Amino acid sequence: MRTIEHIYIDGRFVEPHGRELFDLHNPATGKVIGRVRLGDVEDVNAAVAAAKRALPGMARTTKAERLRMLEALHVAMRSRVKELHEAVLDEYGAPTSRSVWMGDYAADSFLVAARTLADYPLQREIGAARVAMEPVGVVGLITPWNSNAGFICNKLAYAIAAGCTAVIKPSEMSASQTDVVLRALHEAGLPAGVYNVVNGRGADVGAAIAVHPDVAKISFTGSTAVGKAIVRASADSLKRVTLELGGKSPTIILDDADLDAVIPGVIEAGFMNSGQACIAGTRVLVSESRRAGFEARLKAAIETGVKVGDPRDPSTTVGPMVSLTQWERVQRYIHLGLEEGARLLTGGEGRPEGLGSYLGGYFVRPTVFTDVRNDMRIAREEIFGPVLSILTYRDEDDAVAIANDTTYGLSAYVFGGQARAERVADRLESGRVVINGAAHEPLAPFGGMKQSGLGRENGVFGLDAYLEPKTLLGARPA
């Protein structure tokens, strides 16, 4: 069993000041597979100091120099994607296809940020003024466990594109994945202090970054509750804050959709990343008149086609929940759905059958409730597991009203004839709307409306968020 003893400060792997050892689990077996030594507030102070020392040099780098850094990071991360894939399988349990995607996403983040920077005007003429887009300063990057490596790389890529330096606080539950990323980043040979990584608990290391006076901006991905705590903690130093938070996304099946054709898309939207996805389409809206036909198809497709179990088996589509805590949370919500009077279409409490040697794993039965009202807690709160709710609507206006009746607004899915689907998409209060299963666009802004977040990541909007415009009057054009 391996113990990860180091964090990364000022270009070196160092032992943290913190002494706590934290167990890492394989969620498919429930067994402890390693331990990580967690950092503490002193480690945060050392990391911020290193990032602050490195900032003047980094802020002066040219666009060409930053592009070279991003290219080096991409190459280094690309050489480790297989290793990352293995770490994701062991420590997080994402099914193989998802684990592979996660490795690719982490490596490709640097390329997408480089493409964004290449076309981005860092100097602009606006009227009589010259406007210089300057790095915001030292940034704190805080990531969750459901795509830890991807969020580290994506946030760091845009920080570097902007000329910022960073202190990264990965999820404490993802230390093996962080370790692979860290060794890759180190090989890229960036100047010392440009990025620093402190493993630790949210309540101490995360909170210390959020209040630190020398941190100018926080980019956080995680739960809405912690996002709000970060806004409060960062208020005294008026940090810039980008928050990517939770969701309760609607999947709307319009009356002109082909029911057979949409089922795979509904399942993919709902159960992606084993249901542990902020953008999961967990409220499925179908018209009253087509409900019976839709339910029969969905039930049959899940019971015959959605395989839960060993994440290394390529036919598995839903892996374990990340932890026992998360498993128990999902179980509580399934129990609550029954108490609230929703009807089980498929799934339910407990572990699925046929797990064989994986009985100790944190597996959940893929579950669909029907007869769900939008005021039930299972329709309002983020469950973060493979649990869907079917709600019915009378007409298009009713569908839009139900879809928008949520405190969240991260993602939405619409299936139907093109013109009608676009008309409905225009009316949804959501940071993004996916029409008929269209593919992700990494250059487009990503983020949520309402309590799903603040600001946007990715592409031009994501880069903007790491920059401050400085207006120069009387200066010569750049």
Distance in Å, CB of 323 to ligand NAD, minimum: 9
Binding characters for ligand NAD, 404-433, by CB under 6 A (x = yes): ------x-----------------------
Q: For residue 390, which of 466, 294, 301 has the smallest C-alpha distance?
A: 294
Catalytic status, residue 244? yes
Our finding on whether 203 is near ligand NAD (CB under 6 A) is: yes
Q: For residue 223, which of 325, 320, 136, 154 has the smallest C-alpha distance?
A: 325
Is there a contact between 133 and 460 (Cβ–Cβ < 8 Å)? no
Our finding on whether 207 is near ligand NAD (CB under 6 A) is: yes
Considering only residues 14 to 33 of the shown chain, the ones binding ligand NAD according to CB under 6 A are none
Distance in Å, CB of 163 to ligand NAD, minimum: 24
Of 117, 152, 160, 245, the residue at the interface with ligand NAD (CB under 6 A) is 245
Tokens of residue 346, six digits: 């498929």
Candidates 91, 164, 278, 457; catalytic one: 278
Burial of 323 (C-beta count, 10 Å sphere; 0-12/13-18/19+): middle
Tokens of residue 293, six digits: 């036909």
β-pair type (129-135, 123-126): antiparallel
Distance in Å, CB of 218 to ligand NAD, minimum: 8
102: number of CA atoms within 13 Å, CB side?
Answer: 31
User: How many residues lie near ligand NAD (CB under 6 A)?
Assistant: 31
Our finding on whether 382 is near ligand NAD (CB under 6 A) is: yes
| Contact region with ligand NAD (CB under 6 A), list: 65-73, 165-173, 259-267, 344-352 | 165-173
Of 89, 117, 226, 378, the residue at the interface with ligand NAD (CB under 6 A) is 226
Is there a contact between 432 and 414 (Cβ–Cβ < 8 Å)? no
Our finding on whether 222 is near ligand NAD (CB under 6 A) is: yes
Which residues lie closer than 8 Å to 243 by C-beta, 6 or more apart?
A: 220, 221, 227, 230, 231, 453, 454, 455
Catalytic status, residue 278? yes
Our finding on whether 158 is near ligand NAD (CB under 6 A) is: no
Of 101, 145, 294, 362, the residue at the interface with ligand NAD (CB under 6 A) is 145
At residue 64, what are phi and psi to the nearest 5 degrees? -60, -40
Burial of 204 (C-beta count, 10 Å sphere; 0-12/13-18/19+): middle
Distance in Å, CB of 245 to ligand NAD, minimum: 5
- What amino acid positions are annotated as catalytic residues? 244, 278
Binding footprint of ligand NAD on the chain (CB under 6 A): 142-147, 169, 171-172, 201-203, 206-207, 210, 221-223, 226, 229-230, 244-247, 278, 382, 384, 410, 448, 453
